[in-house]
Amino acid sequence: MSRHFDRMRYHIADDPDAGGRPRPPGAFTGIAPGLESVAPRFTSNEAAARFYLDHKLAEEPETAGFRAALATESPARVPDLTLRSSRQTPASGTTLVRFDQTHAQIPIFGSDVLVELDQSRELVAMDARLAEVSGAPDVPTLDAPAAVAAVAAATGTAIEGAGSMPPALTYYLDDAGTWHLAWHLHGLAAVLPEARPGPGHTGHGMEDPSPRELYPRVDYLVDAQDGAILFYFGVTPTVDVPTKLRGVDENGVHVDRIWGDKLGSGFALRDRLRNIVTFDLALGDLAENPQLTDPVQVNDPDLGEKFKAAVSAHANATKVFDFYRGVLSRDSVDDQGMALTSVINCIFSPHGPGPEWKNAAWFDNRMWYGQMRNPAGVLVSTARFLDVIGHELTHGVIDTSSGLVYRNQSGALNESFADILGITISNWYEAETPENVAGWNWELGRGWRPTGAGLRSLSDPVAFGQPAHMRDFVHTTADNGGVHINSGIPNKAAHLLFTATTAQGTPVLDARDWVVLLYLAMVRLSRLALFTDVPVALRDVAKVYLAGSPKQLDPVLAAIESAYSAVGIE
């Protein structure tokens, strides 16, 4: 679908007139240097972004998409673009302003405009996917309940309500290039037969099903004229002073830096500084929509060995939070301080009566942990797998940033970035030399399977049944278009980045710099990004991130080119 959109990209590093420096507004209005006082001044990031969009789109060759975005008597307002978000990215010192394109005040699905500004609201970069709607009605024939009924009939599911958000009209461009007016239905608990997992299949490779699979949340685009299902994709996935606690985790490690809340003579696993809280479901059933009341409570600041699952969940959530904040300058999952809620000792009755449930899942904005038996037959919590927790929480990060649609290549990228961040976070705390990848463990969830093997590998996807090159890309309708299969291709490219060396055999970048670049690229991607968009985004962020180290830039750009070419992403 996105191939039918017109594309416009701009970056100061590619602009000979910019000299690699942000472009001030006067540069677009012909104001001579030294007369900046008469240049436009902006009251908001949105106003600045619209100003630059107006001028850059007007410079582009005449195309339908760009013409549509400027189709008005007052093009300076760029009225067919509506603000989606404006967020600072401290790691790069810039602000990302996102817009959606509309037609007749109805959003166009798949459109995306990103404008990057520096701290003075000068232009750094721009990436736009725009289209001109034609041949589609502005008024629906079917109402939203009829669209929900069409999904219910196609899936054989009784659907209560209209989804997680109110239905909204949108324009959708199909693969044949035909426009449709469609109802966008959000988060329906219904799956088409061809999209259901086969016998024994669990999406992330964990042994037992997740509630995301048995209680799915799927977005549908339904033709507002005839009720045909056009497209679908999965969705999921004043400060109090904390008290320092300690205890033994599921790996037998003495953890001496977890934080809780003082309650009279006892303590609770609620870190109000980081907004992290841990509950114990006591082998309660996740399928019964349990109500969480009080977090885990203890009498002593030393939890000893009686609360291993709680210590693992609380400590690992803290590590993920601290990594995102300390390394990537992100404030929790949504970058706005969202609570990290962990629930241990869960069972899931659609799988079986328990006590085993071999899964850990990000579901309804919480982490739910089951348990499995170790070789000695003892139940241990899945909360012990830091990399799996990092993976699952990264799905939440993606949901609240780029919003990569969980289907086909964009869905595989969603899975891939979750793997990359999960494995990085685990090694950050568990490898002997975190920023030197020579000693890293590249497997996700090593020890999860009875054989001791993991779930996937960045270094060797083929060993875990995934392709490592585009020539082996799997075309399928199952697994949301193969999101857990084809993620092996960008995973392998990421491994090649982390391990890239110069001609002298030294690392091109250390792990911290590579993960910052990958994260900044991830949050810039459009919802329907393709594999080929990742190296483009990486090059763009590298040109800004390394602007003060020009000698490093060329080897980094070469490493990006080499890594993605090696897996057939060109």
Q: Are 52 and 126 in contact (CB under 8 A)?
A: yes
Taking the CA atoms of residue 329, residue 333, residue 336 and residue 338 in that order, the dihedral angle to the nearest 10 degrees is: -140
Phi/psi at 132 (nearest 5 deg)?
A: -110, 120
Which of 293, 271, 298 lies closest to 281 in space, CA to CA?
293
Q: Are 250 and 265 in contact (CB under 8 A)?
A: no
Distance of CA 566 to the CA centre of its chain: 24
Beta bridge partners of 83: 99
CA gap 562, 570 in Å, rounded: 10
SS (H, E, C) 473-537: CCCCCCHHHHHHHHCHHHHHHHHHHHCCECCCCCECCCHHHHHHHHHHHHHHCCCCCCCCHHHHH
The catalytic site residues sit at 392, 484
Long-range contacts of 175-179 (CB under 8 A, 24+ apart): 175/1, 177/4, 178/135, 179/133, 179/134, 179/135, 179/136
Q: Are 270 and 429 in contact (CB under 8 A)?
A: no
CA gap 259, 154 in Å, rounded: 49
Which of 262, 82, 81, 223 lies closest to 144 in space, CA to CA?
223
Give the CA angle between residues 356, 358, 359 to the nearest 5°: 130
Q: Which two tokens stand for residue 125?
A: 């970069």
Long-range contacts of 325-331 (CB under 8 A, 24+ apart): 327/428, 327/512, 327/515, 327/516, 328/91, 328/515, 328/516, 328/519, 329/89, 329/90, 329/91, 330/397, 330/519
Question: If you count DSSP H runs as helices and E runs as strands, how many of each does the chain have, helices first?
Answer: 13, 22
Which of 431, 409, 495 lies closest to 458 in space, CA to CA?
495
What type of residue is 86? S
